Amino acid sequence: MLSSKAGLKSELPFASAKPLSQVPIVMRSNVERPVEIFSTCPQSLAFDKDSYVRQVRKVARWSERCGCTGILVYTDNSLVDPWLVSQIIVESTRTLSPLVAIQPVYMHPYSVAKMVASFGYLHHRRIYLNMLAGGFKNDLVALNDTTPHDKRYARLIEYATIINQLLSSAAPVTFHGESYRIDQLRMTPALPPELLPEIFVSGSSDAGLDAARKLGATAVKYPRPASECEAEPATSGFKSGIRVGIIARETEDEAWDVAEQRFPEDRKGELTHQLAMKVSDSLWHKQLSDTANKTRAMRSTYWLRPFEQYKTFCPYLVGSYEPVANELSRYISLGYRTFILDIPATEEELQHASAAFDRALERIDILA
């Protein structure tokens, strides 16, 4: 969950509906918002070396200025190392926290804990961890990992438990599990308690929800339309979030013009998506594909063309501020408090999304 894949280029350019200076937006600070908003870092596949570093810095600064808590950094076999990208983000901002995607097959849990502690020591910056069980069979097979889906989540629980114990304990840690064993292992440098990372886990499958529950993690879903989620609100007992893109403007026509320009019809992308479906055992991937089949003929706020044509993995909310805010407010009312947005095409895009969130929160305040 929240990994990336070759061919996804969410940062395609489009013509802005209005100059940035004309966008009437009043921003709320993170402290005032009862929700946490994360953006997403661009992928290295879409750029050459020099322009990629510049784009990472730009998107990180946009995200910080727009009040985001943090920024998701992808990982998979085709991308540059997320920890090195996170170093660029931390050096380019003052408060923004990288949400680093972690694939257990890539490194020992001690190495992850050491990276988190080192960021804390060098930058006094909090790191969030997005724990991946791994949904792309080809990536895992290439690494000779044939572990079944639910067993990967069992392994993930051990993995994240070791990381948490190393970072939260001043004493040496001993852990004997099925997949990992450590004996009298101590983390140096120690991590200040206020920088202990929050953990995110996919909440689409029963195995993922069980992992989130046992780890005290935020369970993140790729949501269906809010009206269809009302029968299954965010799980009580732990934090819940969703992954969603937003294209909002003053009018419906403006928003849809931007959406169509950014994500035009693409038959090649559609075929790539169908191929990806055949090599994925992720429940959320199949659930979204089923929803796409039902909603394809409708033009509604909830839009899945970018997902269907392999431009991104999440659904989009598209429209004028009011319907987008209405959909967001319904998700918030259902208990979702963390929102991970797609890769922003421009800073203006993040500002429009922020305006939609502010209206959603005002709507909830009025109803309360």
* Cα angle value 344/346/347 (rounded, 5°): 95
Question: HSE-up of 106 (CA within 13 Å, CB side)?
Answer: 19
Beta bridge partners of 47: none
Mean pLDDT per 10-residue interval, the chain, length 368 residues: 41 31 39 84 93 97 97 95 98 98 96 98 97 82 90 96 97 97 97 98 88 95 87 74 97 96 76 57 55 60 87 91 97 94 97 97 75
Phi, psi of 229 (to 5 degrees): -90, -10
CA 145 to chain centroid, in Å, comes to 24
What pLDDT does residue 95 have?
97
> DSSP string covering 304-317, please?
-HHHHTTS-SS-EE
What pLDDT does residue 367 have?
57
Question: The tokens of 261 are what?
Answer: 């320009």
